């Protein structure tokens, strides 16, 4: 079952993110984290940084033994539902390795110069992710069939 993750679970989240080569330097209370657990611990995590009607999808990571199980897609759908509930109309993300994964889920690559000011102002955009990271966007105004 997908559950919100609290500060006490931060060490386990950091281990999973680091194992997936994802940045951890700026995770804090401004990022809402959701996760899935099994008997072995944290299976996957995803985060949302809400910026008014914009959002930044953060920290999508799946434990090695759970890759290619559909868990990543499940986490993306969950964070999209969370974003819609928070009034987010556009969801952005930065990636160096998962452009194809997100393209298949309705995200489009856009130039970094097209990022709204609120996204440009995040630490992830400014310094945490390398400048070579691809910026992607998805409009959340209408639901896809697979969201239901």
Mind listing the pLDDT tens digit for each residue in 22-79?
A: 988 888 888 999 999 999 999 999 999 999 999 999 999 999 999 999 999 999 999 9
- Residue 143 reports pLDDT greater than 60: no
The per-residue pLDDT for 25 is 84
The domain segmentation of the chain, as residue ranges, is: 3-147
- Find which of 19-28, 83-92, 138-147 is predicted with most confidence, using mean pLDDT: 83-92
The per-residue pLDDT for 148 is 45
In the chain, the DSSP E strands lie at 3-5, 32-38, 41-51, 54-62, 90-95, 108-110, 134-139
Q: How far is CA 62 from the centre of its chain?
A: 11
Kindly list the strands in the beta sheet with 32-38, ordered across the sheet, starting from the edge strand earlier in the chain. Answer: 3-5, 32-38, 41-51, 54-62, 90-95, 134-139, 108-110
Residue-averaged pLDDT of the chain: 92
The per-residue pLDDT for 146 is 43
The per-residue pLDDT for 147 is 44
**Structure-model confidence comparison of residues 14 and 28, the more confident one:** 14
Mind listing the pLDDT tens digit for each residue in 101-113?
A: 999 999 999 999 9
3-147: CATH class: alpha beta
Q: To the nearest whole percent, how much of the chain has pLDDT over 70?
A: 95
């Amino acid at each position: 079952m997908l559950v919100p993750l609290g500060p006490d679970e931060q060490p386990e989240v950091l281990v999973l993110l680091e194992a997936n080569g994802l940045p951890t330097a700026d995770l804090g209370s401004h990022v809402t984290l959701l996760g899935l657990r099994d008997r072995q611990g944290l299976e996957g995590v995803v985060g949302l940084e809400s910026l008014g009607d914009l959002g930044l999808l953060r920290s999508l990571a799946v434990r090695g033994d759970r890759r290619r199980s559909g868990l990543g897609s499940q986490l993306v759908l969950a964070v999209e539902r969370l974003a819609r509930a928070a009034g987010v109309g556009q969801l952005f993300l930065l990636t160096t390795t998962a452009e194809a994964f997100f393209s298949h889920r309705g995200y489009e690559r856009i130039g970094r110069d097209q990022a709204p000011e609120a996204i440009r102002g995040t630490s992830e955009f400014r310094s945490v992710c390398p400048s070579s990271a691809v910026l992607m966007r998805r409009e959340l105004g209408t639901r896809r069939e697979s969201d239901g």
